[in-house]
Structure 1
């Protein structure tokens, strides 16, 4: 078996790949933690309108170290900046936007994604996210839901599975998964492989996936810049 550690994309590279699929002017919510990195990698000529559920729309990049205004943060309690047109509003209004279907894309992390599109991204276990929070609203309010994740756990277990074993965040909600080894769509209750890192074979990737991988044509190479951080 190929050493997947040497082939896997970094978190920044996964975030870069996900950013390439965000349309100009899209309303986008980025989940707490790893998915927040997506905002760094908007393609030239495109500008997404980022939303955070604590009540800010169209915020700017992270401030330089030492220049943070801690009254201006995102849902992950990280400092953000404002830009012309930035809007502030009540938490309830923010969730009205989410539940009203006004977000084009929600991008979240995951513990498990099922071939049916079910998502588990919280756990009551040690070290887990302590509650499902606003994610359950996001995954059913956004028009498209994408997941960023390592392809396997630290112990080597698949994160793309036939059925989730952890508490669900949403049912049948995920449409695309960007992993450290592949880009996988969820269509008709199955995983459809769109891209994979070139040095891993289909059979090797399948062995690291907990449900069958399907193809509907040529599988593209998943290549990200080496210098993204």
Structure 2
């Protein structure tokens, strides 16, 4: 396991997985911790890496009181062996052939990063557009990579010189919504409550919107 810390409350893990199965962008793994007395705690984490990457990449946000995220952030060391189960998920994945729009916020950008990396490898960047939302560059993981990939990066409290500070507008989303046959929303419950209606207002058919939440009431992050 390799580990680095892009920001104070976020760690990035890159792991070798024994007997690894191929994954599709949008899927996740369950990481399980096991104590000497066999007490276990587990949590689901979306995959950031492309399937062609020799390692599986996760981004872990340290949550208040989080057993798993706290251990991975503060205790786990390079070289540790962890229990993983996956890849998991059939609903929240991109098949790489269907025109797609992803509206993601905060650490919810992770599955969209996997989608963009896969789209680049396959030469299908024309089929995917990502709109990533964060307060500022420091609080939005993978912001530079997403911008280089052609994503719309919207900082709500920072003017980066390409767009004024503020949330994405219906007008910004509408051109991508018109072409999308599937739409992905990933972020906190609060973000999901904001993002799904915005996509509908921009013209996305509500029946093709797939939502994944993380945090205290979500499964992946």
Q: Which structure's residues are more often helix, by fraction?
A: 2
Q: TM-score range by the shorter chain?
A: 0.3 to 0.5
Instruction: State the TM-score, normalized to the length of structure 1.
Output: 0.34
Instruction: State the TM-score, normalized to the length of structure 2.
Output: 0.35
